[in-house]
Amino acid sequence: MARFSTRSLSSGPAGRGTRVAGKKVLVLILAGGKGERLGVLTQERAKPALTFGGTYRLIDFALSNCMHSGLPDVWVLEEYQLHTLNDHLTNGRPWDLDRTYGGLEVLPPSPDTLTGALEDAGNADALHANRHLIRSYAPDVVVVLSADHVYTLDYAEVIRHHLKVGAAVTMVTTDLPGGEDASRFGNVQVTKGGRVKRFAYKPEEPLGGPITTEVFVYDAPALLRTLDDLRAATPAGKGLGDFGHALIPAFVKAKTAHAYTLDGYWLDVGLPGAYFRAHQDLLAGRSVRLDTPEWPVLSSSIPRMPARIAQGARVEDSLVSYGCHVQGRVIRSVLSPGVTVEAGAVVEDAVILRDATIRAGAHVRRAIVDEEAVIAARVDGGPDGVAVIGARAHIAAPVKGDTQVEPGRRWRKGSRPRTEDE
């Protein structure tokens, strides 16, 4: 289990801590969002704990980047379905973050955000709620990351750029990935010198430039001062919202915001379609290479037997994790540990999560099947859709199109998706 911290955190004797270019650095990973846009996939788990690529979790990308960047002082801010993430973090050992001084710390939810006392609370409020702990640590630089994006990046290089240009905030930007909608992200326009001259958060009319990746490097005193100023100017009971609502615009207005370009692969997998597309990219070799010797993505996992491919099985252009038992056909799909595909079953263009079972005669196509689900009928997202089957669901009748089946549900002939009113 990861260790929780409610005390005033420090970096050990004599204020020792991670330094880049002589500056003390603290990393905050925001892992508290409910991930409601992922529907049934995050109904019973925190989004950062969602499996990716068979054997990884989404938070592994941020944690691995921290380790390889030489930034071991990492705090994970949680709020939703804490146990699903803490079971994975295991004191930070897989990422070499289990240390006597510093290392991985897990911060529990703040009372205001946990109880809903603040209307429209967001990730800026999460930072403000922990300002006393940040001040106690006394960093020069604060790196703030989201825990649900697929990418690799050397944060130390971003920090050095941030210090060189003298920014109050440096936001990592990238070109809009193909198939994505710019209105889902922060849009920026920059000067030739790299200063952000215009910022729009999830605009109805996109600016047409690069987008933010939700990787931010802040001058710590400027961050804390700005959070306090925004809180003082916000009516009681109201939240500060997300970064893009007031925090980042304050720095842009002050002309102290700069951009750093990420040239490699990056994708926000916060929608079922994007999560599915990220796996297609992985199979096609367009995504991050997960096992690069110089920069592997690290994870925590329970040992299992090697995968077993039975006589007569057929596996094409797929990733099959340990513990799987394949007797049927698997085509352009990703199987997480413990998946069973019985003889006569077909899995095609699909993502199957841990310990799910595809029964004989079932055909799963363009679908995401969550953990321990049992599929005994046809599941087909159609030519453009993606069907999503919740954990432990039992599918005994066809599921078509963008249908989402709730966790634990028995789907029989005549079943239909539940509405929000039911």
Q: Which domains can be identified in the chain, with CATH numbers?
A: 19-284 (3.90.550.10), 308-411 (2.160.10.10)
- Whether residue 373 has pLDDT greater than 80: yes
pLDDT score recorded for residue 91: 78
Tokens read off for 16 = 């020792």
Q: Give the integer Cα–Cα distance in Å for 212 and 201.
A: 9
Specify the pLDDT at position 75. 92
Q: Are strands 23-31 and 325-326 parallel, antiparallel or unpaired?
A: unpaired
Token couple for 45? 């788990």
What pLDDT is recorded for position 421? 47
Confidence of residue 35 (pLDDT cuts 50, 70, 90): low
pLDDT of residue 112: 60
Average pLDDT over residues 90-117: 76
Nearest CA to 402 out of 391, 412, 389 is that of 389
CA nearest neighbour of 148 among 67, 48, 272, 43: 48
- For residue 258, pLDDT over 50 is answered with yes
Please name which of 353, 370, 345 lies closest in space to residue 56, comparing C-alpha atoms: 353
Which tops the pLDDT comparison, 31 or 325? 325
Q: Measured between alpha carbons, how far is residue 328 from residues 146, 339, 342, 351, 392 in Å?
A: 38, 12, 5, 16, 21
Predicted pLDDT at 7: 37
Pairwise CA distance, residues 327 & 362, whole Å? 13
Cα separations (Å) of 191 from 31, 174, 197, 200, 243? Answer: 32, 15, 6, 15, 21
Tens digit of each residue's pLDDT (9 = 90 or more) over 379-417: 999 999 999 999 999 999 999 999 999 999 999 998 888
pLDDT tier, 117 (very low <50, low <70, confident <90, very high otherwise): low
What is the pLDDT at residue 107?
86
| Whether residue 109 has pLDDT greater than 80 | no
pLDDT for 100 beyond 90:
no
Q: Residue 116: pLDDT above 70?
A: no
Query: Quick one: DSSP state of residue 135?
Result: H
d(CA 259, CA 169): 8
Looking at residue 5, what is its pLDDT? 43
| Tens-place pLDDT, residues 295-339 | 999 998 888 899 999 999 999 999 999 999 999 999 999 999 999
Contacts of 225 (CB under 8 A, 6+ apart): none
pLDDT digits (tens, 9 = 90+) for 40-99: 999 988 899 999 999 999 999 999 999 999 999 999 998 777 777 888 887 788 888 887
Q: How far is Cα 354 from Cα 377, in angstroms, rounded to an integer?
A: 19
DSSP, residue by residue, 60-125: HHHHHHHHHTT---EEEEE-SSHHHHHHHHGGGGGGT---SSSSEEEEPPPHHHHHT-SBT--HHH
- For residues 240-264, average pLDDT: 94
Residue position matching structure tokens 């801590």: 17
Q: What is the pLDDT of residue 178?
A: 84
pLDDT, tens digit, for every residue of 49-59? 999 999 999 99
Cα–Cα–Cα angle for 104, 108, 112, rounded to 5 degrees: 145
Q: What is the pLDDT of residues 282-293, one digit of tens each?
A: 999 999 999 999
Tokens of 218: 């802040």
pLDDT at 16: 58
What totals of helices (H) and strands (E) does the chain contain, helices first? 9, 31
Predicted TM-score (pTM) of the model is 0.92
pLDDT at 247 over 60: yes
Burial tier of 417 (Cβ tally within 10 Å: 0-12, 13-18, 19+): middle
Tens digits of residue pLDDT in 352-364: 999 999 999 999 9
Tokens for 189, please give them.
């326009």
Residues 6+ apart with CB under 8 A from 28: 74, 75, 77, 127, 130, 134, 142, 143, 144, 145
**Distance separating alpha carbons of residues 404 and 416, to the nearest angstrom:** 9
Q: Which residue has the higher pLDDT, 301 or 24?
A: 24
Closest CA to 74 of 9, 161, 167: 9
Go through the chain and tell me how many residues it has: 422
CA distance 347 to 337: 15
Please write the tens of the pLDDT for every residue from 171-205: 999 999 988 889 999 999 999 999 999 999 999 99
Q: Tell me what the pLDDT averaged over the chain comes to.
A: 90
- In the numeric block, the tokens 């939700």 are attached to 214
Element spanning 230, H or E: helix 220-233
Percentage with pLDDT > 90 across the chain: 71
**Which among 411, 413, 373, 378 has a CA at the least distance from the CA of 390?**
373
Query: What is the token pair recorded at 251?
Result: 């720095």
Supply the Cα-derived Rg of the chain in whole angstroms.
Answer: 22
Burial code (b: 16+ CB inside 10 Å, e: under 16) for 223-245 equals: bbebbeebbeebeeeebbbbbbb
